[in-house]
Amino acid sequence: MALSRRTFSALAGSTALGFALGGSGGPGAPAAYAARTVPTGPAPAPPRADGHRHTIGYDQYSLVVDGRRLVVWSGELHPFRLPSPSLWRDVLEKMRAHGYNTVSIYVAWNFHSPAPGSFDFTGVRDLDLFLRTAAETGLYVILRPGPYINAEVDAGGFPGWLTATPGPARTTDPVYLGHVDAWLTAVNRIVRRHQHTDGGGSVLLYQIENEYDGHVADPSGPAYMSHLYKKVRADGIDVPLFHNDKGRNGYWIPGSFDTGGERGRWLYGFDGYPSPAQTPPDWGHFGIGGLKGGATASPRTPGFVPEFGGGWFDPWGGVEFGGKGYAESRRTRDAAYERRFYLTNLANGITLHNVYMTYGGTNWGWLPAPVVYTSYDYGAAIDEARNVTPKMAPMHQIGHLLQRVPDFARLERAADVHVDGLRTYHLTNPDTRAHVYVLRNDGTGAVTSTLKAPGRDGTDDIEVTVPAKDARLVTTGLSLGRRTLRYATVQPMAVLTAGRQDVALFTGPYGEMAHLVLDCPTEPFVQRLDAEAAWVYDQNLLHVTAPLGQGGLTRVLVQRGESDTPLLLLLADDATSLRLFPYDTPSGTLLVYGPALLRHARINGTAVELTGDTVGPTGLEVWGPRGISSVTWNGRPVPTRVSLSGSLVATTSLAGAPKPALPVLTGWRRKAGNPESAPSFDDSSWTVADKKTSFGTTPVPDGGPVLFADDYGFHYGDVWYRGRVTGDTDGLRSVSLAYSTGTQGMLMAWLDGEPLGSHRMPVPDAKTVRQGSWSATAEFAVAGPEKKDPDHPEDTQREKDGGKPRAPRTRVLSVLVRRMQHDMDGRSLDTHKTARGLTAVTFAGASPKVSWRIQGEGAPDPVRGPLNNGGLHGERQGWHLPGFADGDWQPAELPRADKGMGVTWYRTGFKLAVPDGVDASVGLVLEDDPARAYRVQIFLNGWNLGQYVNDVGPQHTFVLPNGILRTRGSNTLALAVLRDGTSESGPGVVRLALLGSAAGGVPVTAVASPGR
């Protein structure tokens, strides 16, 4: 029922409301690379590999693609952190459906290069496949191949072999540049086939280097950047290039080195990761200005943030989030955080906006840098198990807004407006005269206040409530197709035309009373299609109100009046908005409401063919072009009726997803895995460690030898040392082992097969959370005098007879070092070359001679790549592979309570039978008494999927990616357990867990898992 004039008078007021044509500033600086001044208009169509030439330009407002303004709303995804190419499509389709028009990716040199001059772009490393998939999905690509990428990956993306090469990295050293040029040649050979400029694909922008600030002040820095720029251009990359300034420093702006300035197609970008505890910063229109002001450092190019925090990473021990892991990251950087910070960026003129991360993924194998553990969930909008989380809502709403409402591509700062209790930003579009207000509440309580928005005939008093630590986007004078929005207290999400009517969608928090006011010179015919809505027409204004979310989607149809085209108003809360999907087809635009995800839509004659996902049972509603009369969902017909709003509404619910049953893990078998500790072990095939010099940054002990693992070609995972100790060992009291590792490295040592003991690096605290290299010296006592060799009983008899004893026997010192990973090189100091492994060995009480041999990982796995395996005996023998014969291993049951120091392997198999058409995400959970000190390396079907440290944490659940995991078939699970001997050790409880289930998904091709 419509509200009466009397009931509504307090809300509507009696003052005639107007719309100001004001605004400050003119067209600004002339276009840099845009061919001409580009007026506000529709965004370009989604990209695809169409074979046609396209132009990519820009001015101070935005990118300009094919003469149309494009606001880049991008999310970061790293293909190497999701080693199942089928799942790339799944995450990309989720991003597109939820409002992103661009995906940003790093290309990690270490992931593709097992040796100098060798590059592998096959299998899980197929960059060409990823770029094709992105174009097929309709997403632009921002490509970031380094050579240095940081990214919390081993050595910042530098390959392990680079640590053992001469010349400083990230400089113009000719040896380093030779390797860099070979890498870029290999990458660019693929990328240039996928540039949007020639229609080969959707690569839109290309970044060189990453947060480079180590040599800005000396000539070598610009020379290095110039070399990279010229190399990339010479390789045929003609899309705009950029670099991401590490902060708001004004480094590498156009003209700072020889790129030809803006006309050399060079953009300035800067990164930012403000804490939730901070006030959202002004990095543009409303900031300090100048070189340190963010976007103002380059006033002739659009505001560009290549990385803005969509979460944050967590270190071993979890000190960053109080031991609660990424769930706490997601809680503290939630939807309200996104609205406050991302809307502030938009107000500051940032129209190229990339959220790092949107899908974090997994640091499988030896991929992670020392500062992170296996999970790289990041608290992102899409979690590690590929579930869309509630914090996706602002990304979904803003992304669709920027694609569907062109006014936001060209905003200028307008006259300051004060709203009590709220930080207020006022902008206007000089072409359309629409006004935009960002109202931000930085306080701890909700604020209800009045925005006095200038109008045509005076001022509109708009009462707005903004929750604590949240923000609101308010617009006035916005075109809603053929009608004009006077103002709304809720945020527009999309304006589109579906068939014979315009559709305008607005969103806000659950339970809030939305208030929309339309300019209506002639009284329209209004239909309240849902009971929650109310409306009144008063003094040429139509007021519509509704509490958001209480009945799902609220619909109000406005017809006749000054326009013959109906306007459908849709009002949704955050949760409801995530089930609304605009989709463009060659036959016209669709709007689909109901499912958890819309992947694809096609109009075939009069039928609408939809594919997507459901989680629980749900309704389905479709608005679309004239003439559609039927709907299919994932290939099956859906009975429908025609609604009063012109939609097709399903008369039965779409089914939700079943929860597949998971087996209990039983049938374990075990075997000891450190034969290298025995004095009789044959190490004759191992590498002799006798070098005297190193290209690393760690000093070599006087007299040597070099014991650093990288110098002998062992770059990833565990490394074994065996030292033959000869000479006079009488009086030997102790041995000291100096070693260097990444975070949470450890060492175990044996002498003549007897355990000497173990040592481990400390758990990071708040002061050392960023420390990437750790060094320590472990001193172990040697018990008692040297024992007589039982293999030589004549020694004792000789002494009794007064004869000369046999020469002292050779003793064997065996050391296993879990090196963890190489440090990154964020400050350009070659810190990735800090030693890993033993650095020096000294003895107390004697001065024996020692000859060393070293053994690490074997040849790189041709399928799983160089980062999969380390140097454990079981890895070298293939104990982690699905085809290994373990019939002679001992049966075992879990949990365990083992004692002693060493390595033990466990293997079992299990079968899954997930129904066809169900996307089930499965995890492996390890649980135990946190006082028990041990760690586990997890192998699924031969793939090293992570490391669990029981007494450190915080990670207990490890995602098993579909494709590597056979969801309909047999799987082999292997666990390599390292026990430091300081406590009883496990494994404890080891079980499978269902992390998410959806009906739909994408077809998954099994990732190769060869048995040997």
User: Strands 266-272, 241-245: parallel, antiparallel or unpaired by DSSP?
Assistant: parallel
The answer to whether the Cα torsion of 283, 286, 289, 295 is positive or negative is positive
pLDDT at residue 18 is higher than 50: no
- Across the range 41-63, mean pLDDT stands at 97
Biggest alpha carbon distance in the chain? 125
Structure tokens at 998: 């959806």
Q: CA 685, CA 726: separation in Å to the nearest integer?
A: 20
Q: CA 533, CA 3: separation in Å to the nearest integer?
A: 10
Of 335-349, 447-461, 799-813, the poorest mean pLDDT is in 799-813
Q: What is the pLDDT of residue 25?
A: 29
Chain segment 875-913, per-residue pLDDT in tens: 999 999 999 999 999 999 999 999 999 999 999 999 999
DSSP assignment of 495-560: EEEETTEEEEEEEE-TT-EEEEEEE-SSPPEEEE-STT-EEEEETTEEEEEEESBTTBSEEEEEES
pLDDT at residue 965 is higher than 90: yes
Of 12-21, 153-162, 360-369, 718-727, the poorest mean pLDDT is in 12-21
| pTM for this model (two decimals) | 0.94
- 262 — pLDDT class (breaks 50, 70, 90): confident
Chain segment 477-499, per-residue pLDDT in tens: 999 999 999 999 999 999 999 99
Left if phi > 0, otherwise alpha if psi is -120 to 50, otherwise beta: which for 874?
alpha
Chain segment 303-330, per-residue pLDDT in tens: 999 999 999 999 999 999 999 999 999 9
- 729 — pLDDT class (breaks 50, 70, 90): confident
Q: What is the pLDDT of residue 515?
A: 98
Mean of pLDDT over the chain: 93
Q: What is the pLDDT of residue 393?
A: 98
pLDDT at residue 629 is higher than 80: yes
Q: What are phi and psi of 97, to 5 degrees?
A: -60, -30
- Three state DSSP letters for 95-117: HHHCCCCEEEEECCHHHHCCECC
Q: What is the pLDDT of residue 34?
A: 52
pLDDT at residue 827 is higher than 90: yes
- 1012 — pLDDT class (breaks 50, 70, 90): low
Q: What are phi and psi of 954, to 5 degrees?
A: -90, 0
